[in-house]
Amino acid sequence: MALARKGRSHRTIDYWPGFVDALSTLLMAIMFLLSVFVLAQFLLGREISGKDEVLNRLNSQINELTQLLALEKSGKQDLEDSLANLQASLTQSEDERSRLQALLDQGAGSTEAANQKIGRLGSELESEKQVSARAMSQIELLNQQIAALRNQIAAIEGALQASEAKDQASQAKIADLGRRLNVALAQRVQELNRYRSDFFGRLREILSDRENIRIVGDRFVFQSEVLFPSGSSDLNPEGQAEMAKLAAALLDLAKEIPAEINWVLRVDGHTDNVQLSGSGRFADNWELSSARATSVVKFLMSRGVPADRLVAAGFGEFQPIAEGDNPEARAQNRRIELKLTEK
């Protein structure tokens, strides 16, 4: 019997060292994965920060070029005004020269006639000569003024051409900056779309799968009957429960969206086309839809959602999604829509 007990003790296998080795290997793998995840988050944050710096720099350059372009346009307008004034002065001077030339010609004709008459016309001849001399002097002065005006006009036209060339260069640079800005904005929109898809995915998981809660395009739609009693803007208990789930999902998502993305959750209230009686709490569907959207926003604020991330809007019956006056169409049009968007 002693030999039998000794044999059994030799056949006992100790699994503990192997279990410790496997656990150590698993822990090392988990630590490696966590390190890779942290590194990826760090690199992604640096990339997003770099895009924001480029975007801010592009915005600053566009603003500077816009100001320079405005100054160029103002200077160009001043030059055009000066050119118009000089051209008007030139026209007036040329008219005056033509008048004086006609007067001079007339004086010359009078001189020829006077040479053929008796001495009593001598004084008139002398007078005509003086008039002719004054006319010639004025014509010479006007010629000088016209030459000066033409030189000024040529200088202004040269300045205008230079201004137009500079304007075209500025427009080309603004167009290039605008294109780069559009690319940066498109990247920002893609990022927001990714978070919007994540947000809708979470709402699908946490909200009950019901016909009166659905996704239409880029909006999450609640039928009004889920949230409010008929004709009221006070959330019912069922509506408060659904909105509490929504607030929790929104707060979780807000932790993941980068701070540089200026997002908001827009709450839109809609009604059917049945007009309210004047004796009720609300005068019309505008007031009812606005009050319901505001009620949802205030409830979300009470659950910790920041007020600057919420927008309330009322559309009354003027944005229907179902045509017709039947009960089914009206039921679809009575709704609250949620949209995650940028400010």
pLDDT at 1: 44
Fold of 48-192: Helix Hairpins (1.10.287)
Structure tokens that stand for 66 in this block: 């816009």
Please give the Cα distance from 216 to 214 (Å, whole number). Answer: 7
pLDDT at 170: 72
pLDDT tens per residue, range 275-291: 887 677 899 999 999 99
pLDDT at 98: 73
pLDDT tens per residue, range 229-278: 988 999 999 999 989 988 998 898 888 887 777 889 999 999 999 988 76
Tell me the backbone φ, ψ of residue 182, rounded to 5 degrees: -65, -40
- Which amino acid would we find at residue 163? S
pLDDT at 2: 47
The dihedral formed by the CA atoms of 303, 308, 309 and 313, expressed in degrees to the nearest 10: 100
Mean pLDDT of 130-151: 73
Residue 268, helix vs strand vs coil: strand
Q: The pTM is what?
A: 0.47
pLDDT tens per residue, range 294-320: 999 999 999 999 999 999 999 999 999
In the chain, CATH 1.10.287.1700 sits at 48-192
Strand 219-223 with 263-270, pairing: unpaired
Please give the Cα distance from 98 to 105 (Å, whole number). Answer: 10
In the chain, CATH 3.30.1330.60 sits at 207-342
Given CATH 3.30.1330.60, say whether it is the number of domain 207-342.
yes
When mean pLDDT is compared across 72-76, 109-113, 196-200, 214-218, the lowest value belongs to 109-113
- Strands of the chain (E only): list them: 213-216, 219-223, 263-270, 310-314, 335-342
226: left (phi over 0), alpha (psi -120 to 50) or beta: alpha
* b/e map 18-45, b = 16+ CB within 10 Å: eeeeeeeeeeeeeeeeeeeeeeeeeeee
pLDDT tens per residue, range 191-223: 666 666 666 666 666 665 556 678 777 788 999
